[in-house]
A and B are shown apart, each in its own frame.
Chain A
């Protein structure tokens, strides 16, 4: 007669045995005091752990947590408010800049001689100004790039603000 294995004993105590396994174990327990003692040990261990497993947290802890949570909450609220302001004003500024540069590009009538490529007076003026500041910009495509970048930023802002609204709704 072989004894009940320890994993079967644990499952027996946890009530995880199949009906036929349970029946076989119970039959064995009727005639084996060694296994009966082991089962009693595991059952005691389980009872002990069920009752004594959970430790009591310090009584003041929950209040501390809530103080921190409230603080975090108010900071996040304030941050969200100021972020909204920055996004709104930043967006307007970018849009204005992009519009001014873009309009300049479209409306300016002048051209650079000999290149066959139309470069607006407006851009030439900006380039001259930058050169007078000793910022050497020889190629107007840099300015086109800056303009395109700003437009992309504006579009990204607008798209983002729409997406954000969707999540919070």
Chain B
């Protein structure tokens, strides 16, 4: 595990709650993204992310460092987001209304267009495929770690990732046609 992270976590455990800010800064966008992909709602995702950070802080002593902090933390995000979705029936908020921005966005409308396509394609996937594909393109999550997070076997995770990418490739091909190659 990242040695910075180990230091931050130990500082937190020694009562320096401010050290937690560094973990929050590092993981807020990843956690929020994962939550959006599951809840399909910007407000719910924000609530879930905040709850996840608080829960992780409260149970930090239970984190034994057997996995990466990120793997452990994404599991918390995932569980909270899932139970949120199960609790309040999904409102099926339209992706158009979410008004999402990616971390790489500058102001160009082309960027926004690309974000929109990706969001739309991922939103059309079954929940587990959406989660797996999101995790796969996140920083340093191996397939092993992903299968640990989603609690599926490695081979099952691979199959679902394959299906998700195949579907997304089809969708993007149809959606963008010749435009695809020019905006990429």
- Cβ B181 vs Cβ A40 within 8 A: yes
Closest B-chain residue to A77, C-beta based? B15
- Cβ A72 vs Cβ B184 within 8 A: no
Number of chain B residues close to chain A: CB under 8 A: 46
- Cβ B184 vs Cβ A44 within 8 A: yes
Residue in A45, A47, A50, A66 whose beta carbon sits within 8 Å of that of B165 in the complex: A45
Closest A-chain residue to B165, C-beta based? A10
Question: B6 an interface residue at 8 Å Cβ cutoff?
Answer: no
- Residue-wise, chain A 1-23 has the 8 Å CB interface mask toward B (1 for contact) of 00000110010000000000000
Residues from 148 to 176 in B contacting A, C-beta threshold 8 Å: 162, 165-166, 168-169, 172-173
Question: B5 an interface residue at 8 Å Cβ cutoff?
Answer: no
> How close is B171's CB to chain A, nearest CB, in angstroms?
10
Closest A-chain residue to B161, C-beta based? A10
Question: B73 an interface residue at 8 Å Cβ cutoff?
Answer: no
- Cβ B184 vs Cβ A54 within 8 A: no
Interfacial chain B residues near A62, Cβ < 8 Å: 21, 24-25, 28
Residues from 125 to 147 in B contacting A, C-beta threshold 8 Å: 133-134, 137-138
- Cβ B169 vs Cβ A45 within 8 A: yes
A53-B33, A65-B50 provided; 4 other pairs, C-beta below 8 A?
A41-B169, A44-B180, A44-B184, A45-B172
Point out residues on A near B: beta carbons under 8 Å: 6-7, 10, 40-42, 44-58, 61-62, 64-66, 68-70, 72-73, 76-77
Q: Which 6 A-B pairs have the closest CB atoms?
A: A57-B32, A53-B137, A73-B17, A49-B137, A52-B118, A55-B33
